[in-house]
Amino acid sequence: HPRGGLMKMATGRLLFSWNSFNNSLTFTLRRWASKKAGGSSRNGRKTAGKRLGLKCGNGELVAPGNVLVRQRGTVYCPGSNVGMGRDHTLFSLVDGHVKFTQVQRQALVPQRGRKWHKRPVRKFINVTELPKHHYFVLKDIVPPNL
């Protein structure tokens, strides 16, 4: 090189170096990143809550169709006057008061290595129906005044 020193020309991944002091050509293999290093993130997959859980308390007055509990699986089982939806949501079928009960399950007959129930106590949600009061008795149909 006319000015001396090192002359470097980068062609792809191969780097040529010319040393003018001892007139030698050296080849150096160098690798450059093809993409910018962005790092890795372990966050960013949080989903919105599904609002599961009890919606009515014990003794609370409910109407037909009111949701009592939203759940995954049958943590609470439907009792009297309670229906269950496809996603195991329990809802009231009549007007009444909510009542929680528990039933101890009988001992499991051992089969396939299981010695006990996953849930030895079953929890039920019941709705006790309100008494039907007949406050209004229809005696006669009165024609409207014209």
Per DSSP, the residues of 34-68 read: SS------S----------EE-S-TT-EE-TT-EE
Burial call 8-35: b when 16+ CB within 10 Å, e when fewer: eeeeeeeeeeeeeeeeeeeeeeeeeeee
pLDDT at position 11: 43
pLDDT at position 9: 45
pLDDT at position 98: 97
Distance CA 125, CA 69 (A): 9
pLDDT in tens, 87-108: 999 999 999 999 999 998 877 6
Cβ atoms within 10 Å of 144's Cβ, excluding its own:
4
pLDDT at position 60: 95
Supply 48's token pair. Answer: 């919105």
pLDDT at position 50: 94
Supply 49's token pair. Answer: 């809550």
Distance CA 18, CA 101 (A): 89
Residue ranges of the chain with per-residue pLDDT less than 50: 1, 4-11
